[in-house]
Amino acid sequence: MSYVAPKGKHNLAFAYFGLAERASSFIGPIVWGLVVTNLVSIGSYRYRIAVLAVTGFIILGIIALSRVKDDRKEKAVPSASIISNT
């Protein structure tokens, strides 16, 4: 989190992180419960649909994070031939 936060605005970044964490811990179980409760008529397949709904949130999060710029400098990774002693 500290890598993607702009310099001088770490307090806001962590505040939004905390807000998103609390919102997700509230919204996720509510969506799961609504899907499972409203689809009682289709039997155990309702749980598969609930998993797909929660997976949709994960995919949306990955898409949102893919748009965040990473300003870290890439470290040079030594090649495997240097590391091995053969």
Positive or negative: CA dihedral 36, 37, 42, 43: positive
> Tell me, what's the pLDDT at 9?
83
Q: Closest Cα partner for 50 from 38, 32, 37?
A: 32
Dump pLDDT digits (tens) for 45-71.
999 999 999 999 999 989 988 887 766
Q: Angle at the Cα of 9 (from 8 to 14), degrees rounded to 5?
A: 135
pLDDT grade, residue 76 (50/70/90)?
A: low
The model's pTM is 0.65
Q: Is residue 57 part of a domain?
A: yes
Give the domain extent around 52. Answer: 10-70
Q: Is residue 76 part of a domain?
A: no
Q: Are 81 and 58 in contact (CB under 8 A)?
A: no
> Tell me, what's the pLDDT at 11?
86
Greater model confidence, 2 or 77 = 2
Q: Is residue 53 part of a domain?
A: yes
Dump pLDDT digits (tens) for 23-48.
989 999 999 999 999 999 999 999 99
Report how many domains make up the chain: 1
> Tell me, what's the pLDDT at 52?
96
Q: Is residue 59 part of a domain?
A: yes
Q: Is residue 77 part of a domain?
A: no
Which distant-in-sequence residues (6+ apart) come within 8 Å of 67 by Cβ?
none
